[in-house]
Structure 1
Amino acid sequence: MNWTIEVVPVPVTDMDRAKAFYAEKIGFDVDLDDEVAPGVRVIQLTPPGSRCSIALLQGMPTPPGMQVMTPGTLHGLQMCVTDIDAARATLAERGVEVSPVRHVGQAGWEDGKGGTWNSFLSFSDPDGNGWVVQEAPSDLSQR
């Protein structure tokens, strides 16, 4: 049996603002924007080329034993791209406040690209949820 991560809930305060940010500025595809039950709205968005989506939820009951996530507290979600410089340029052109490309060096985070799997950038959504983008080799045999 395969266990796949398919949907990650992202806590936001304003569904329409978050939808516009992820669709227009980040470039995610809008898969669903629907009131799936009275008072329950779900917006599902997927990064191009990904099987894993994010879900923006409003009015969704919290499963028993779980806590409601506070907007702005989700950090470290990570996406991979094959060209970090192009990804950074695209985000900056769309008005996203994006960090410089950095890598992990001897002194911690250092500016510029690193070796294979060691080039990153970061950004936050309008609520402060933090994302990391990592450059991955196009030849995945380097995993």
Structure 2
Amino acid sequence: MTMTTRILSVSVPVDDQDAALRYYTEVLGCELRADDEPWPGARYIEVVPPGSDVGLVLLRADSGIPVAVRLGTTDADAAHQRLSAAGTPPETEVLRWEGVPPMFAFADPEGNQLVYLEDAPAPGA
């Protein structure tokens, strides 16, 4: 099993999401990929540089959404079990929300925040 398939996005902590969105789109030339509110008070904004598959997630630290590197995995349940067996237990169970892939949060041995999202195979793969 391939545990990690790719980097999906990297969080950038911001104080003012509207100002950050303007900066990343109007000054840096990124394109808006998502601007959602998964629950009240938790705004998820993702921008992507043109031609890049890796997004930048502009998050307030107090949103409840992990400020983390988001990685793809072929099987979220298997990855969760493998991390637990390796002595780095995930911080959450595998979360299953309507409209989003199965995911869970964890930290590496240095304390860096990571999230695994089950990554669909690329078309034609």
TM-score normalized by structure 2? 0.48
TM-score normalized by structure 1? 0.42
